[in-house]
Structure 1
């Protein structure tokens, strides 16, 4: 019913749209057809369409009342038919009962107000002349009152729903050429005076739902649409109430229908507002509760921009990505939909990085921090949680891949040379030391080899001091392994050094490295042997 009423009340606003290429021909036909209609007749055409819509809305209520009569009288039957403007059925029923005069009156309902005035004058004349109305059926008098436009007198001792009351106001009380805004304002005036039934929402009007506990008078969305159509320019203070969940459903957390209705009404130009964020966020929360994160982001993207909250969309979307990361990341269709919405991939990777880091999957967290260009955080996780595990499991290619992926951004990373740079230096230095001795002599001097190893050992010690307690025991073990391998390669090539001083200098480099005590003791023994040999050689030279 709501969608049909929107079409009836606001359809002409479609002409304000700019048609797409494949719609231009169709829109042109509509404009040509509309051009043939007299503009003065448009309000009457809209009134007629509204009348037909209202008849369809109340027809089932009319049938319910008729079915409850149980043959108690055709006059009541006629009255109920008139509340739904079922004139053909009413006239046929009156004729079938032999009430031809009444049938003639019924056939003129909704026509000239002259007939209505004549019936009213006749009733007044009977009253002035002292006619005993007890000789006329009460139901017939009610029919006459209704035909005369006295709807309140006709409805005495009879409860009627608000839509049929509105229909009686339009069909029997007001002039047949009254525009819809006039009709709606008259109904609102009677409502304010307590002379019209309240426009309760459909879920109450046609049977209250279980569990509704509220002392607040809620109004139906249909009523608000009528107010919106008849409002004076700029007066739309009822929008927040109009787009509350209770205007269309008994569920205070169900916003899906009114959100779409708001979108259509704004699209056709019925109103514009940037103050309905409660509706937007309510619908977002509803979608999130059902695990539909991608549609929640879609709704956020359609929220109007506000100058006083310029970063609202940014904040809400990132909050959704972070809080519901497990939901949207586990469904490929949602991930793809979010990408298709144009959400930056960096936001998604950052959310995934935080999620995996929280759950202890540091390798995945590291990859996503790199993808979102959070180099400092990626470097920190690499050093404290990932690198040592990969090193001790001999996954050196993965360490190299990760480190080189951050190398181009090392200027943005604090302590790069004492972090991931340590691992890169280790692999480069190890490769250099493992080269063929002849090649090594061509490329570098023995002294420079020792200097390179001394520099690396110094950086290892400095790195341990800088990272401190942030490095787990496994990371310190990895540092020890690196130092051990470098020192082993350095000391295994002592034969290339020209003198004992240079060889002893290599041992001094090894002693400064963070080595295990047993390895250090072994090197110390070798150094003592070398030093003894050095003393022996020096003694022979002196004696000679």
Structure 2
């Protein structure tokens, strides 16, 4: 008999006391139970739930007033508190920049603005601004968006000219382009600029580009006067000098005529002022340039100054007829660069957009920026003149992102033999212009520009990245023309385009398209993975055998399937299964004796059955696919027995094949019984049909 251990009453009282909540006045809701023995139950603790209403704050709390500011040191429990107010700005396609701003800032900025207003878009949150944070998408493009002529019109014709005068070669799989030597491209660009200037004569950028191309023709072009005297150095010098003189006259003669007419036709009331202006004009025309006369002309905005736009024509009157262009250029440099003010009578060659307000654009090295035409004259006079100064957009435009004229001039100068630009500066010029073209939608021309990069790995990576960003799966005619341009004109491998399309199709879960594009791109391993993971199971379940066979047919050759891991138990298994279906279908339609065909089918079935269990099954759909294949194989075995009138396939063989398949035992016996009903053989025992 087991002895019962009793608890003392004092301990029971302590336990009852301990069960009461401390610091809470709990009222018992159960009264004492009256009966033979009165018992006391501990009171129950009743807590009322607290209801809190969460209000969404439509404002951003300043950091000093927020809870995050009270966290001292790293917060290991919630690293998000440390990065909760940070934002990573990133560049996207077509020159877009994602930055963080506030609703108050976004409500006041313009949807279209100039580059000088960029600081207003990137100013960030100001003090007192508690509006919500939003992400803004800025699209930065070079070129004047308010010009009367479109960007495409100003650049596409020149790009086609450069394409027609380019040398093409293949390095590895990536094509490379370089400008063809000679002057044909230079003259073609000049003609194109002249045609564009006739269509929009009042566009400043177009007019300046024509002047730059005409200056290049005057300095390096094939002039008619040089055809019979190309070996005479003195004659060549005179011809170039006269050509440059005509170019300067064509630039400044309208201003000269207008100023002379204005000065000489003043009314009688202004004769006193004429006594000041006429000597200045005559001083300029006679070649006796003096600083006082130039200052007078400067104060009255007269014509004969080498100021903010072009080199003054009357410098030619300071040199003898035997002087060269270099001599005249040296005299001009002394005119604006002399340390003595008494010898300075000309302004420096400031860029076209410089308005003479005392400020000049500078490079990162602190060097002043001069006009593009001045740099061309310097390059003609000295072949070692730095090309990075000449090819700076600041030499002719206030837009630092506009590389149209710079890149085209670089190609022409390279064709003329000026190749002393560093690889880094050349790569920066190519990528900058390509980014500008991408920003205005001419990404296929941006690929053309990137093909001029010298470094092979960088060139291939840049081109593939550009294609990846802009490839489409649609059949839009405009896009198809761009794709044909890449393949036919630029010799871009079509496999690069298919690879990019496969990546895009995977991002949109279009697995059938992705597999097809991967096959066309030669990505055998990747296409096999897509087929087995996303396509094969559905194709088998829906009996879409022809589509699956067409996909696998591209992977069957040994040189392709040899690079696929586990091919024999995956793709090869499915291929053998589909071929068995096709052969059996054809065999049953012959209706004649087919002895040796049956022997071949029997060996293929015996090889296929044990491999079905090796088919990878990572999901329920894969297991369904495996079961469907096994059931079809059972049907094939049964049909093989039925058509075997010679008794070459016995029930023992049939049972041995079926027992290797992943099938339920009852299904296997039904299929076997269906076949055995037509042949006089014994039924195998159940243990032969165990799975």
Same fold (TM over 0.5): yes
Q: Distance in 1 between matches of 2:273 and 2:509?
A: 91
- Please report how far the alpha carbon of residue 153 of structure 1 lies from its aligned counterpart in structure 2 after TM superposition: 2.9
- Please report how far the alpha carbon of residue 483 of structure 1 lies from its aligned counterpart in structure 2 after TM superposition: 0.8
1:474-532 CA-partner distances (Å, limit 9, x unpaired) = 33322211111112343566687999x974674464354333687468679999x9999
Matched, 1:283 2:433: yes
Match of 1:423 in 2: 574
Which structure carries more helix by proportion?
A: 1
CA contact (8 A) 2:353 2:397 kept: yes
Which of 521, 524, 529 is 1:372 aligned to?
521
Q: Distance in 2 between matches of 1:474 and 1:58?
A: 81
Match of 2:402 in 1: 254
Which of 286, 297, 301 is 1:158 aligned to?
297
Matched, 1:354 2:499: no
Give matches, 1:492-511, under 5 Å: 503=651, 506-507=654-655, 509-511=657-659
CA contact (8 A) 2:391 2:410 kept: yes
- Please report how far the alpha carbon of residue 400 of structure 1 lies from its aligned counterpart in structure 2 after TM superposition: 1.7
CA gap of 1:453–1:65, structure 2 versus 1, over 3 A, is: same
Structure 1: where are the runs of 5+ without partners? 15-28, 77-96, 98-133, 536-544
Which of 408, 411, 432 is 1:263 aligned to?
411
1:426-451 CA-partner distances (Å, limit 9, x unpaired) = 12334556645995765446xx9777
Match of 1:413 in 2: 564
CA gap of 1:187–1:213, structure 2 versus 1, over 3 A, is: closer
- Please report how far the alpha carbon of residue 391 of structure 1 lies from its aligned counterpart in structure 2 after TM superposition: 2.6
Give matches, 1:22-421, under 5 Å: 33-34=228-229, 39-62=233-256, 65=259, 72=266, 137-143=275-281, 145-146=283-284, 147=286, 149-159=288-298, 160-162=305-307, 166-167=311-312, 170-193=315-338, 195=344, 196-204=346-354, 217-231=368-382, 233=383, 235-237=384-386, 239-270=387-418, 272-273=420-421, 275=423, 276-303=426-453, 305=454, 309-326=455-472, 330=476, 331-340=479-488, 341-408=490-557, 409-421=560-572
Q: Distance in 1 between matches of 2:531 and 2:351?
A: 60
Give matches, 1:478-497, under 5 Å: 478-491=625-638
SS at match of 2:397: coil
1:450-492 CA-partner distances (Å, limit 9, x unpaired) = 775454233222122xxx53xx543332221111111234356
**TM-score (structure 1 length as normaliser):** 0.68
CA gap of 1:206–1:453, structure 2 versus 1, over 3 A, is: farther
Q: Distance in 1 between matches of 2:583 and 2:416?
A: 73
CA contact (8 A) 2:407 2:429 kept: yes
Q: Distance in 1 between matches of 2:457 and 2:641?
A: 65
Structure 2: where are the runs of 5+ without partners? 1-210, 299-304, 686-691
Which structure carries more strand by proportion?
A: 2
Q: Distance in 2 between matches of 1:136 and 1:401?
A: 92
Match of 1:129 in 2: none
Match of 1:475 in 2: 622
CA contact (8 A) 1:497 1:503 kept: no
CA contact (8 A) 1:259 1:283 kept: yes
**TM-score (structure 2 length as normaliser):** 0.55
In the alignment of these two chains, the number of paired residues is 445
Match of 1:2 in 2: 212
- Please report how far the alpha carbon of residue 62 of structure 1 lies from its aligned counterpart in structure 2 after TM superposition: 3.5
